[in-house]
């Protein structure tokens, strides 16, 4: 199973990819030589993956995103449920499913395999 985790943050954007027990992580500021690097748009994550790890590297079985919903276009922000954000902010949840409209925008499959989270993900099998 391939898991791709993308942190689209205000600073220190990073990517992590897990394929079985092969784990890869990179802070994008290292590839850009720019301290506190941030992606300019939530849509830049696929290009960043392919620049770092090559073509097809943005394909995965499961996706996890750490992002500020305010970075989404206004038309999509209303799809992110306030109760889900409250659970994330209050520590009651580490991950919440992404709404279908946000999955479409980010270019990931619309199913239960795309999440927005607040904590690092752990892979128990390794």
Smallest CA-to-CA distance from 73 within 98, 116, 105 is with 105
Q: Which CATH architecture has domain 2-117?
A: 2-Layer Sandwich (3.30)
Q: Where are the domains of the chain?
A: 2-117
What pLDDT, in 10s, does the model give residues 82-109? 888 787 777 787 778 888 888 888 888 7
- Give the Cα separation of 80 and 72 in Å (integer): 10
Choose among 48, 59, 68: nearest CA to 116. Answer: 68
Reported as a single tens digit per residue, the pLDDT across 18-62 is 988 899 988 887 666 667 666 777 788 888 888 888 878 778 888
Phi, psi (rounded to 5 degrees) for 82:
-60, -35
pTM listed for this prediction: 0.75
């Amino acid at each position: 199973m391939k898991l791709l985790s993308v942190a689209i943050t205000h600073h220190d954007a990073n990517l992590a990819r897990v394929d079985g027990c092969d784990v890869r992580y990179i802070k994008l500021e290292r590839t850009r030589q720019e301290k506190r690097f941030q992606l300019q748009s939530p849509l830049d994550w696929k290009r960043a993956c392919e620049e770092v790890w090559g073509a097809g590297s943005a394909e995965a079985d499961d996706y996890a995103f750490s992002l500020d919903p305010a970075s989404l276009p206004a038309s999509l922000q209303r799809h992110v449920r306030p109760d889900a954000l409250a659970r994330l902010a209050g520590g009651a949840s580490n991950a919440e499913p992404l709404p279908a409209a946000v999955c479409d925008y980010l270019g990931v499959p619309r199913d239960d395999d795309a999440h927005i989270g607040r904590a690092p993900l752990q892979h128990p099998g390794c």
